Amino acid sequence: MSDNNVMKGGLGTVLLILSVIVLVASFGFVMYNLMSHGHASFNVSSSLPWGQPISTYLYFALASSGLGLIASLPLVFGFKQYYGLAKRAIFLAFIILVSGMAVLALELGHTFRMLWAIPFNMQIQSAMFWMGVFYAADLLFLLWKFQKMESGDWDSKATRTIGIASFLGVLLASGNLALIFGMMSMRPFWFDGLLPIYFYLTAVTSGLAALVFFTYLAYGFQRGAMPEKLQQTLTGGLPKLFAAALGLTILFVAVRAITGLYSNNPEIYYVWTDYLFASPVYIASVVLGLLVPFALMMSTSLRVNPGIQILVSVLTFGGLFAERYFFVVGGQVIPLFKGTWAWDMIQYTPSITEWALTVMGSALLFTLYVLGEKFFNLSATPEQPAMSAAADQPRQATA
Amino acid sequence: MAKWGMVIDLDKCTGCQACTTACSMENNTLPGESWQDVLFYHEGEYPTAQMKWLPRPCMQCEKPSCVYVCPTRATYKDEEAGGIVFVDWNKCIGCKYCMIACPYGVRFYADEQPLVEPDIRDVYPGEDGQMWSPPYQNPEQDWRRGIGIQPKGVVSKCTFCHHKVSKAPEGVADLDEDDPELVEYVPACVRTCPPKARFFGDLDNPESNVNRLIGDKKGVRLLDHTGNRPQVYYLGAGAGIPAFSPRKS
C-alpha cells in the first residue's frame, strides 16, 4: 500500500477536523437563518428566483458528471493509461454529487416533501422529474461501481456493464440538467438545443480540475510521492486532455458570446453587454479561470509542471464556479414581461446565507474526501500482469 | 363545464390599480405579491414618447408551461374548474421552476425579503401553518387550489377567484358585476373595475359577451408566439409590452 498519502496521516486528520468545523459552523449558520427568517435570508426574489445556491448545485453536479465521464475513459473505453485515476474519480464524483444535493436540499421550500411528491406524482413531462431519476441512478451506479472496485473486481462482465450503465447515467443526468435550462424558450439566454454539449464540455473541465487538485492534495502536493502509474498519467495524457477540455470550453463560451452579441434580441444582447461584459468579476473569471489556464496547459513544458498543474486546477475551479453563477443568474437578469416598468436589470448579489450554503457544500466535500482517502485506497489499480509490478504498488485496499 | 376567460379593454382601463388593490384584499396577498398588477411603462422617446399601462393577471394558459415543468404536479390545470391553473400547496416543494417557465412573470414565492418595512409577516406572525395571519382575512381556504394565505416555501398565483366563480349558477355565460344575481360570483378585479374595462365569462359558450367582445373588437392574446395560449384577451390599442431596454441615465 502507498503510505505516501498524507490524508491517511496527521495532516489529513487536521484537514478533516477543519472541514468538519467549517461544515458544522456553516450548516448551523444556514439552518439558524432559515429557521428564523426563512428564505428571506436569501437575496433571490420572485423576479429572480434562482440564485447562487442553484448555481452551486449546478457546479457540483456537473463536476461530478465530469469526473464520471473521465472515469469512463479507462472503465468503458479501455484507455488503460488512466486506470490510476479511475477509482479516485468515481469516489470524487459520488461525494461531489452528494455535496451538491445537500446544497440543493436547503435551497428548496420543502425538501422532505420532494422525496415523496416527485416519485408519487410521476410528472414525466418535467425535466426536473428526470433530473431526480437520472441523478439518483447516477448516484446508485457510482456507488455500485466503487463497491466493485473496492472489492477488487475491475474487469468482470458485471463490472463493465455497471460501468457502461454509469456512463449512460452521467450522460443522461448532465444532458438533462442542461435541458432544464435549454428548453426554456421564454428565457432566450438559456434556450439552446446544444446546451447539453456545452454542459458535457464544462463538466469534464471542472471534473479534471477537481481530479488534479484532489490527487495532488492526497500526496501533499508532491508528485514524487505518488505511485508511479499516477505520475505517468499526470505527465502523459491527462495534461493534454485538460488543455483540450479548456480549449473547447473557451470555444463554446466564445460562440455563445458572439451569438449573443450579434443578436438583436435584447433578452440576450443586454445580458452580454450590460451584465456579463460589464462585470469585472466575469471578465476576470474568463481570463484567469479559462484563458490563462489554457495558455499554461498549451505549453509542453509547463503543463507537466506540478506547480502549474495545481495552479491551473485551482484557477479553473474558480473560473467555472463563476461561469455557472453567471450562466444561472444571466438567464434571469432581464425582467420578464415588464417592459420599462422595471427600472433596470434585476440586481442580485448573494447573501451571507447563500455564501454560507456554498461554503457548507465545499466543507462537506472536503470532509467526505478526507474520510475517503483515510478509509480507502483511492489510487488503487486493477491487477494487470502485463504491467510492471512496481507500477502496481498501491493497488491494495487499506480498509 | 365552462372555460373561464377574461377580457380586458385597454381603451377603457385608466390604470387606477383598483383591481390590484381588490385582488390583494380578497386574497390577502403580501406587498409585492401582486397576483394582479398594472404595469406602467413608456415606449419611444420625445416627440413620440407614449405612456402606457397594462393590467396583468395570471393568463390561465390553455397550454401552461408552468404546468409542464412542475416536477410534482403541484401546479395543474383544472378543466373541471373552468381551465384555471392552480398550485396545490400540499404538493409544492418550492423549487420555483414554474416561476422560471412562466413567460408572464405572474408567479410569486412570498418567502422572500419584504418589499416594505415593517415586514407585515412579523406584525401578524403566521398561525396554523399560514405564512402570516392578519386579523381580517378571507375565510375561504383551499390549499389544494392555492386559495387563502399560503404556508411557507410554496409558490402562489392568481386563481381567477375560484372561491367565488365556482359558486356561480351552472351554465351561466358571463359573470357580470352589474347583474345583482351574479355579482357575488364575479372575480374581485372584475367586480371592482371602475371604468368597467374587465369582462369575465365562458369562452366555450358562443353566446357569451366575452366571445362577442373578442370577435367584434379584435381581441388579442399576449406573447402568443410562446404557444401558451392565454385565456385572457386584450382589446384596444397598445396590447403588448415593449422589449426591455436599460435606462440610459
The number of residues making up chain A comes to 399
pLDDT digits (tens, 9 = 90+) for B48-101: 988 889 999 999 999 999 999 999 999 999 999 999 999 999 999 999 999 999
Question: Does any CB of chain A come closer than 8 Å to the CB of residue B43?
Answer: yes
Q: If pLDDT is split at 50, 70 and 90, which confidence band does B45 have? A: confident
Contacting residues of A for B91, CB less than 8 Å apart? 113, 117, 121
How distant is the Cα of B154 from the closest Cα of chain A, in angstroms?
6
Maximum Cα interatomic distance, chain A, rounded to a whole number of Å = 72
pLDDT digits (tens, 9 = 90+) for A2-40: 568 888 888 999 999 999 999 999 999 999 999 999 999
For the cut 80, the answer to whether the pLDDT of residue B247 exceeds it is: no
Chain Cα centroid distance, residue A106: 18
Q: Cβ(B95)–Cβ(B71) under 8 Å? A: yes
Residue to mutate among A42, A126, A274, A332, with most B CBs inside 10 A, is A126
Amino acid of residue B234: Y
- Domains of chain B, first to last: 4-40+50-235 (3.30.70.20)
pLDDT confidence of residue B249: 52
Question: Does any CB of chain B come closer than 8 Å to the CB of residue A108?
Answer: yes
Contacting residues of A for B226, CB less than 8 Å apart? 185-186
Compute the radius of gyration of chain B from its Cα atoms: 18
Amino acid of residue A298: M
Q: If pLDDT is split at 50, 70 and 90, which confidence band does A340 have? A: confident
Question: Does any CB of chain B come closer than 8 Å to the CB of residue A186?
Answer: yes
Compute the radius of gyration of chain A from its Cα atoms: 21
Mean pLDDT over residues B174-195, rounded?
96
How distant is the Cα of A284 from the closest Cα of chain B, in angstroms?
24
- The whole-angstrom separation of Cα A155 and Cα A165 is 14
Amino acid of residue A316: T
Kindly give the residue spans of alpha helices, DSSP state H, lying in A79-194: 83-107, 111-121, 127-150, 157-182
First to last CA, chain B: 52
CA angle (A173, A132, A52) in 5-degree steps: 80
Those residues whose C-beta lies under 8 Å from the C-beta of residue A83, and which sit 6 or more positions away, are A74, A229, A381, A382, A384
Q: If pLDDT is split at 50, 70 and 90, which confidence band does A385 have? A: very low
Q: How many other C-beta atoms are found inside a 10 Å radius of the C-beta of residue A185?
A: 14
- Predicted model pTM: 0.93
Who has greater pLDDT, A397 or A56?
A56
For the cut 60, the answer to whether the pLDDT of residue A396 exceeds it is: no
Contacting residues of A for B38, CB less than 8 Å apart? none
pLDDT confidence of residue A387: 44
The SS3 assignment for A223 reads helix
pLDDT confidence of residue A3: 65
Contacting residues of B for A40, CB less than 8 Å apart? 111-114, 119
Q: Which residues are paired to B52 by β-bridges?
A: B41
For the cut 50, the answer to whether the pLDDT of residue B231 exceeds it is: yes
How many residue pairs from chains A and B have C-beta atoms closer than 8 A? 158
Contacting residues of A for B56, CB less than 8 Å apart? 337
Question: Does any CB of chain A come closer than 8 Å to the CB of residue B44?
Answer: no
Q: Cβ(B108)–Cβ(B35) under 8 Å? A: yes
Q: What is the mean pLDDT of chain B?
A: 94
- Indicate the DSSP class of residue B53: E
Amino acid of residue B73: R
For the cut 90, the answer to whether the pLDDT of residue A115 exceeds it is: yes
Contact: A187, B153; criterion CB under 8 Å: no
How distant is the Cα of A78 from the closest Cα of chain B, in angstroms?
38
pLDDT confidence of residue A212: 95
Contact: B39, A44; criterion CB under 8 Å: no
Mean pLDDT over residues A286-305, rounded?
95
Write down the domain spans for chain A.
6-377
Contacting residues of A for B71, CB less than 8 Å apart? 117-118, 121, 123, 126, 128-129, 131-132
Contacting residues of B for A186, CB less than 8 Å apart? 65, 101-103, 223, 226
Who has greater pLDDT, B244 or A363?
A363
For the cut 70, the answer to whether the pLDDT of residue B240 exceeds it is: yes
Could you say which residues from 94 to 113 on chain B have a Cβ atom under 8 Å away from some Cβ of chain A? 94-97, 99-105, 107-113
Contact: B244, A266; criterion CB under 8 Å: yes
Mean pLDDT over residues A293-315, rounded?
95
pLDDT digits (tens, 9 = 90+) for A358-378: 999 999 999 999 999 999 988
Closest alpha carbon within chain A to B71: A129
- Indicate the DSSP class of residue B149: S
Q: If pLDDT is split at 50, 70 and 90, which confidence band does B243 have? A: confident
Which triple of cell numbers denotes residue B175? Answer: 359573470
pLDDT confidence of residue A4: 84
For the cut 60, the answer to whether the pLDDT of residue A388 exceeds it is: no
For the cut 70, the answer to whether the pLDDT of residue A207 exceeds it is: yes
Q: What is the mean pLDDT of chain A?
A: 91
Mean pLDDT over residues A97-110, rounded?
96
CATH number for the region A6-377 comes to 1.20.1630.10
Mean pLDDT over residues A154-169, rounded?
90
pLDDT confidence of residue A384: 55
Mean pLDDT over residues A329-352, rounded?
90
Task: Kindly give the interhelix angle for A228-235 and A83-107, rounded to the nearest 10 degrees.
Answer: 80
Q: If pLDDT is split at 50, 70 and 90, which confidence band does A237 have? A: confident
Contact: A185, B102; criterion CB under 8 Å: no
- Indicate the DSSP class of residue B39: E
Mean pLDDT over residues B177-201, rounded?
97
Per cent of chain B over pLDDT 70 is 99
Strands B4-9 and B198-202: antiparallel
Burial of residue A191 (number of CB atoms within 10 Å: 0-12, 13-18, 19+): middle
Contact: A110, B153; criterion CB under 8 Å: yes
Q: Cβ(A75)–Cβ(A163) under 8 Å? A: yes
pLDDT confidence of residue A398: 41
Residue B233 — left, alpha, or beta (φ > 0 → left; ψ -120 to 50 → alpha)?
A: beta
